[in-house]
Amino acid sequence: MIQQLAIKQPKLVNRSMPILLHDNARPHTARLTVAKLQELELETLRHPPYSPDLSPTDYHFFRNLDNFLVGKFFNSQQAVETAFRDFIDSRTPGFYSRGIDQLPLKWQKCVDNMGAYFD
């Protein structure tokens, strides 16, 4: 599938910077967030609002982050940032590559099911 993507959409494969998949959740559209993304010159790929297909928060990273944060409470922004850094530091490079490697399979499963719900 990656070879097909390289043929059909080489601009998506041959990049020096990542593309961030964004939904329209308030934290993603907040002025501060948008300004920071522009400052960093990061390209965002918008996710259609209210789309049931492959919500960005269903991906590998966010599920693991949710599990990591279960039962934790924070009383300051610093505490949140520290917990997030702890999460990032506790993951191996293989964690990230596994998540990325799973994306084409999930996308293909969605296409094969014609957008119907699946677990």
Q: Where are the domains of the chain?
A: 1-47, 51-118
Q: Would you give the distance in Å from CA 81 to the centre of its chain?
A: 18
pTM of the model as a whole:
0.51
Backbone angles phi, psi at 72, to 5 degrees: -95, 140
- Token pair belonging to 4: 């097909």
Q: What is the pLDDT along the chain (119 residues), one digit of tens a residue?
A: 556 666 766 766 666 666 665 556 666 677 888 888 888 887 776 666 665 666 655 678 888 999 999 999 999 999 999 999 999 999 998 888 888 788 778 777 777 877 666 66
Rg (C-alpha) for the chain, rounded Å, is 16
CATH 3.30.420.40 assigned to domain 51-118? The reply is no
